[in-house]
């Protein structure tokens, strides 16, 4: 994915001046803009209208390659022939929903790309839902209704802060910890040994 990214200098005219002025091409840093035209997106939603909204937003960012899928099973088939850099997937779909699709992408032996970043769309933002998505291997979580700004911030987050993948007994996917915590305490083993000398 990083080979497809290119910083856009402020003076670059991308042919979307109105979008640039509205901040759609600015990352959270506000000093960087990205040329997204070489990234491949897979948009997965059983609602055709929602797929069109997401595609329109992506095209406004300068994206050129977007493939659609109607459910998780269709998306998994698409991944076999389409090299997606980012998947944007709805949670609630029939017959294969976004969570089951994510688990298949991350853990199936025939998965074409277990490392692809997945942005999960949902109208339900309860904490247990966020945790369930995270534990399935979702990279980013985005509440509906979506906006250009919120979608761009998730894409920029994937680009600017790629997370390492973790393989554990019951999990494979991006590191679920958002921040690395530093240990600021005396090593108790060392402290105990010093006191017995």
Give the 3-state secondary structure of 122-137: ECCCCHHHHHHHHHHC
Could you give the maximum distance between any two Cα atoms of the chain, in Å? 73
Residue pLDDT, tens place only, 94-117 = 899 999 999 999 999 999 999 999
Task: Map tokens 């070489």 to a residue.
Answer: 38
User: What separation in angstroms does the CA of 106 have from each of 112, 126, 130, 167, 169?
Assistant: 10, 23, 17, 10, 13
Residue pLDDT, tens place only, 150-197 = 999 999 999 998 989 999 888 899 987 765 545 455 555 554 555 544
Provide the β-strand partners of residue 76.
Answer: none
pLDDT confidence of residue 32: 62
Domains and CATH numbers, the chain: 2-195 (3.40.50.2300)
Contact 98, 91 (CB under 8 A): yes
Residue pLDDT, tens place only, 74-98 = 999 999 999 999 999 999 998 999 9
pLDDT confidence of residue 27: 38
pLDDT confidence of residue 38: 93
pTM: 0.75
Mean pLDDT score of the chain, rounded to an integer? 80
Res. 30: pLDDT tops 50 = no
Q: Where are the beta strands (DSSP E) in 32-170?
A: 34-35, 40-44, 65-69, 86-90, 118-122, 140-143, 165-168
pLDDT band of 2, cuts 50, 70, 90 = very low
């Amino acid at each position: 994915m990083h080979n497809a990214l290119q910083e856009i200098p402020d003076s670059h005219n991308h042919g979307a001046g109105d979008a640039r002025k509205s901040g759609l091409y600015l990352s959270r840093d506000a000093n960087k803009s990205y040329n997204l035209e070489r990234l491949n997106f897979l948009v997965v939603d059983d609602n055709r209208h929602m797929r069109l909204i997401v595609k329109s937003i992506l095209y406004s960012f300068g994206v050129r390659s977007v493939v659609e899928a109607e459910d998780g099973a269709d998306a998994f088939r698409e991944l076999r022939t389409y090299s997606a850099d980012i998947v944007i997937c709805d949670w609630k779909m029939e017959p294969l929903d976004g969570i089951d699709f994510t688990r298949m992408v991350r853990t199936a032996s025939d998965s074409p790309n277990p490392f692809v970043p997945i942005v999960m769309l949902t109208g339900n933002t309860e904490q247990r839902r966020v945790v369930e998505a995270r534990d399935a291997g979702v990279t980013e979580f985005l509440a509906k209704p979506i906006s250009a700004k919120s979608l761009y911030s998730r894409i920029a987050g994937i680009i600017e802060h790629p997370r390492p993948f973790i393989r554990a007994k019951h999990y494979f996917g991006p590191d679920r910890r958002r921040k690395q915590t530093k240990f600021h305490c005396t090593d108790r083993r060392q402290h105990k040994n010093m006191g017995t000398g």
